[in-house]
């Protein structure tokens, strides 16, 4: 069954097609949610709720983006809503100046994806969310600012702070090996 047929079958309410769509996208969407919320149980809940929305809004999918990108956007919004429910906000740091880090040390030893993901999970929530959205999901700071209802400069400063903490965490991990 190709993707268009799968979408059409889901729109018609086919449980088999819905199961197949979930099977295709649940795992990668779990990882997207996990990078934002930082908790496996909550990530599973986010994905479940997101797919309920996917199936109820599938008639709104116009094909302007890929199905995976459309689902990812729903998952990201659901994950951000989960964070908002916890009332975890980023600190507004419009007044903070960010120094350009031109002489950043490059780590020559290979770092595994698992090590990077774990280091990201150790970041404070605000930085973790913004680093995940900007670095891993490739959102621009203007988009992140809109999604989180913060200023663009707050997004940039949280990203720079998070990136610096991430680099320090990875240096420590590499020193241990």
pLDDT in tens, 160-175: 999 999 888 888 877 7
Higher pLDDT: 18 or 116? It is 18
Q: At 146, is the pLDDT very low, low, confident or very high (cuts 50, 70, 90)? A: confident
Q: Using CA of residue 73, residue 74, residue 79, residue 81, what is the dihedral sign?
A: positive
Arithmetic mean of pLDDT over the chain: 84
In the block, residue with structure tokens 């934002």: 36
Q: At 109, is the pLDDT very low, low, confident or very high (cuts 50, 70, 90)? A: low
Q: How far apart are CA 66 and CA 3, in angstroms?
A: 10
Token digits of residue 95? 């007044």
DSSP class of residue 65? S
Q: What is the mean pLDDT of residues 6-11?
A: 93
pLDDT of residue 177: 62
Higher pLDDT: 144 or 116? It is 144
Q: Are 141 and 59 in contact (CB under 8 A)?
A: no
Indicate the SS3 state at residue 140: coil
Among the residue ranges 26-35, 109-118, 126-135, the one predicted with the least confidence is: 109-118
Q: How far apart are CA 21 and CA 29, in angstroms?
A: 12
- Give 132's Cβ-side CA count (13 Å radius): 24
* pLDDT tens digits, one per residue of 62-89: 988 899 999 999 999 999 999 888 764 4
Q: How far apart are CA 74 and CA 126, in angstroms?
A: 20
Domains recognised in the chain with CATH numbers:
3-85 (1.10.1740.10), 113-176 (1.10.10.10)
- Greatest Cα pair distance, the chain, in angstroms, is 56
State the CB neighbour count (10 A cutoff) for residue 38: 19
pLDDT of residue 93: 43
pLDDT of residue 101: 43
């Amino acid at each position: 069954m190709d993707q268009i047929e799968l979408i059409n079958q889901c729109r018609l309410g086919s449980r088999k097609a819905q199961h197949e769509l979930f099977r295709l996208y649940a795992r990668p969407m779990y990882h997207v949610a996990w990078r934002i919320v930082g908790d496996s149980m909550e990530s599973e809940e986010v994905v479940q709720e997101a797919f309920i929305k996917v199936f109820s809004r599938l008639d709104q999918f116009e094909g302007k983006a890929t199905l995976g990108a459309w689902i990812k956007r729903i998952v990201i919004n659901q994950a951000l809503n989960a964070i908002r429910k916890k009332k975890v906000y980023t600190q507004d740091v419009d007044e903070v100046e960010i120094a350009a880090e031109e002489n950043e040390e490059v780590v020559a030893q290979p770092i595994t994806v698992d090590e990077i993901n774990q280091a990201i999970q150790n970041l404070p929530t605000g930085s973790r969310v913004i680093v995940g959205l900007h670095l891993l999901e490739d959102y621009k700071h203007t988009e992140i600012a809109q999604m989180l209802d913060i200023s663009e400069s707050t997004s940039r400063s949280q990203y720079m702070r998070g990136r610096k903490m991430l680099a320090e965490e990875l240096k420590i991990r590499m020193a241990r090996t």
